[in-house]
Amino acid sequence: MNLETDILVIGGGSAGSLAAIVAKEQNPVANVLVIEKGEIHRSGSIAMGMDALNIVVQPGITTPELYINSALIATDGILDYKPSFVMAERSYSILKRLEGWGIRFPTDEQDKYLSLQVHAKGKFLLEMDSPDLKLVLAEKLKEAGVKILNRTMVTSLLETNGKIHGAMGFNLRTGEFVVCSAKATILANGGCARFSLPNSGYLYGTFDYPGNAGDGYSLAYRAGAQLTGFEYTSCSPLIKDINCPLLYITITRGAKVINAFGEEIELEYLSTQTMLKELREGRDPIFIQLSHLPEERIQEIERILFTTERPIQKRFWENRGINFRDGLIELGITEYQLCGGHGLTGIVVNEKTETTLEGLFAAGDVACVPLQHLTGAFVFGEIAGENAVAYARKTQHKKISESVINDEKQRLFNILDEEGNNSKITVREFEYKVRRTISDYVVPPKNERKLQQALWWIPRFRNEMKNIQVRDYHELSRFEEIKFILDCMELSVYAALERKESRWGWFHYRTDYPQQDDDNWLKHVVLEYGKKSGEPQTTLVPIKTKED
């Protein structure tokens, strides 16, 4: 299938949906196409809805400056001023846009939005009541006249001399090869949820949407863009075995966190590091206790947990015979992930969502705007839509060479072995092996020797990939995802080796450099594909302040 569009959006999750809708608002006659790996009604981090918009600066109550102060604490200073400032500044208008679409933000008797304290400073989290948020986004895309290509996975970007002009991929069900020429391209395809293995051992039992396997990071890296924050390997204490979120929903509503000895864990603010410490230091298991709360509070918590994010939780607790009125919720540490939304891993972008490659914009979890959550996905989705339209107006389509198309087609379809050679290793087994190695060597506690062990494995894994059994297009997509995961593994190792200090509590804890060293390391570790070596090149880049 050969396509031509003005704006191509890769990934139809939160950021991609906003980008496409806004691009159409800016220029209704522009062709806007979203290529989505899953199905747009349920794909991405919001499969259903969300219970909060985590960062909203309400005029007269909080300020973008206060948000920056808070975010600087959460990121230990590794934060460029302008993108985070712009996100905070535009957050209230995002809330108003969502309200206009029928999303409810509950208020108190004085008509004030219900807000909760989860940041070190300021109440920025506003409660949101939106079990159908993803369906609303899908409806708005349709109303705007955005074209959607579902179940289509982008496998490479079209790049010439540092300029991006579209992408290629294939349909996961039919195998149809897709080439799309675009005047402007927006990457909005999430972070890397499938990084280390969850303790449950299930490949897709991850906290974040498992369809995001670092595709965007790898696509941008291979095309020559700069990336950063890959040494920030984060995890969370969430519901054990099912990895569902609940901290913001329960603790902010009065739940207690207690350890194995029945002691209450004091949380200065909603600091996951304190809970992780308790788990690591052997005072586990730790639990969330709700039994002391009034009945209506427990019901409110149940309503959110059982409707908005993952309704499966209701069945999970029923099957375990646990009732929150007398039973405890056991917490466990999730797998480690790389993410621009919950962490600070991503493609280097400025406040206009421009990457270091011309014609390529990035928004949401795929971009490095630290801890931006859903607010960032929506705000930068909007900004990417606006700027991509402006860029597309002054750009022409570039003719795509037949040899580039044929090379990618051949590369992909040569991997297929429809006869199925049973002596080969299955995609699942191979992914398990790669991610188990990430769990062994790439995540904290880190040290030089462990990271070198990981490096020893990477070329071997790449070489062994020829022994993977790929019988259909679905397995072909899994094969491609393992390649993305391996790239993320390599980027994370290089970044972690470079940052010779510890930072972000547990998330980049090096036993050989256990101290945080602000004198030398208040910097970004930036990574770029080394065209000659084929390996990541690292540079240290100063933090951008308000004046830069």
Could you tell me which stretch among 4-12, 299-307, 485-493, 503-511 binds ligand FAD (CB under 6 A)? 4-12
Could you tell me which stretch among 139-147, 368-376, 464-472, 520-528 binds ligand FAD (CB under 6 A)? 368-376
Q: Taking CA 12 as the corner, what is the angle to CA 426 and CA 303, rounded to the nearest 5 degrees?
A: 90
**Smallest distance from ligand FAD to CB 134, Å:** 9
Of residues 145-184, those binding ligand FAD (CB under 6 A)? 153-154
| Count of CA atoms in the C-beta half-sphere (13 A) of 116 | 21
Instruction: Say whether residue 375 binds ligand FAD (CB under 6 A).
Output: yes
Count Cβ atoms below 10 Å from residue 206 Cβ, excluding itself: 24
Q: Is 447 left (phi over 0), alpha (psi -120 to 50) or beta?
A: beta
Of residues 306-325, those binding ligand FAD (CB under 6 A)? 309
Q: Rank residues 341 and 359 by Cβ distance to ligand FAD and give the closer one.
A: 341
**Smallest distance from ligand FAD to CB 456, Å:** 28
- In the shown chain, the binding pattern of residues 257 to 296 toward ligand FAD, with x for contact by CB under 6 A and - for none, equals ----------------------------------------
The binder of ligand FAD chosen from 83, 122, 166, 190 (CB under 6 A): 190
DSSP string, 87-123: HHHHHHHHHHHHHHTT-B--B-TTSPBPEE--SSSS-
Residue whose token pair is 């540092």? 162
Instruction: Say whether residue 198 binds ligand FAD (CB under 6 A).
Output: no
Instruction: Say whether residue 487 binds ligand FAD (CB under 6 A).
Output: no
**Smallest distance from ligand FAD to CB 187, Å:** 9
Which residues are within 8 A (CB) of 430 and not within 5 positions of it... i.e. 6 or more apart?
A: 464, 465, 468, 482
Distance in angstroms between the alpha carbons of the first and the last residue of the chain? 44
Q: Rank residues 14 and 234 by Cβ distance to ligand FAD and give the closer one.
A: 14
Structure tokens at 197: 């293995």
Of residues 505-544, those binding ligand FAD (CB under 6 A)? none
Of residues 21-40, those binding ligand FAD (CB under 6 A)? 35-38
Instruction: Say whether residue 50 binds ligand FAD (CB under 6 A).
Output: yes
Which residues are within 8 A (CB) of 232 and not within 5 positions of it... i.e. 6 or more apart?
A: 338, 343, 344, 345, 504, 507, 508
- In the shown chain, the binding pattern of residues 201 to 220 toward ligand FAD, with x for contact by CB under 6 A and - for none, equals -------xx-xx--x-----
Instruction: Say whether residue 373 binds ligand FAD (CB under 6 A).
Output: yes
Q: Rank residues 13 and 332 by Cβ distance to ligand FAD and give the closer one.
A: 13
What is the three-class DSSP state of 186?
strand
Could you tell me which stretch among 58-66, 258-266, 364-372, 456-464 binds ligand FAD (CB under 6 A)? 364-372
Q: Rank residues 53 and 338 by Cβ distance to ligand FAD and give the closer one.
A: 53
Count Cβ atoms below 10 Å from residue 268 Cβ, excluding itself: 8
- Rounded distance between C-alpha atoms, residue 13 and residue 384, angstroms: 14
**Smallest distance from ligand FAD to CB 484, Å:** 8
Q: Cβ-closest residue to ligand FAD? A: 13
User: Which one-letter DSSP state was computed for residue 467?
Assistant: G
Which residues are within 8 A (CB) of 441 and not within 5 positions of it... i.e. 6 or more apart?
A: 450, 451, 453, 454, 457, 493
- Rounded distance between C-alpha atoms, residue 128 and residue 518, angstroms: 37
**Smallest distance from ligand FAD to CB 497, Å:** 27
- 346-347, strands of its sheet edge to edge: 346-347, 227-228, 523-529, 536-542
- Rounded distance between C-alpha atoms, residue 339 and residue 82, angstroms: 19
Number of residues that bind ligand FAD (CB under 6 A): 40
Cα 11 from chain centroid?
Answer: 12
The binder of ligand FAD chosen from 10, 186, 286, 525 (CB under 6 A): 10
The binder of ligand FAD chosen from 14, 181, 334, 447 (CB under 6 A): 14
Instruction: Say whether residue 250 binds ligand FAD (CB under 6 A).
Output: no
What's the Cα-to-Cα distance from 496 to each of 230, 255, 500, rounded to whole Å?
7, 36, 8
**Smallest distance from ligand FAD to CB 256, Å:** 21
**Smallest distance from ligand FAD to CB 451, Å:** 27
The binder of ligand FAD chosen from 52, 187, 251, 288 (CB under 6 A): 52
- Rounded distance between C-alpha atoms, residue 21 and residue 409, angstroms: 31
Instruction: Say whether residue 15 binds ligand FAD (CB under 6 A).
Output: yes
Binding site for ligand FAD (CB under 6 A): 10-16, 35-38, 43-46, 50-54, 153-154, 188-190, 208-209, 211-212, 215, 245, 309, 341, 364-366, 373-375, 377
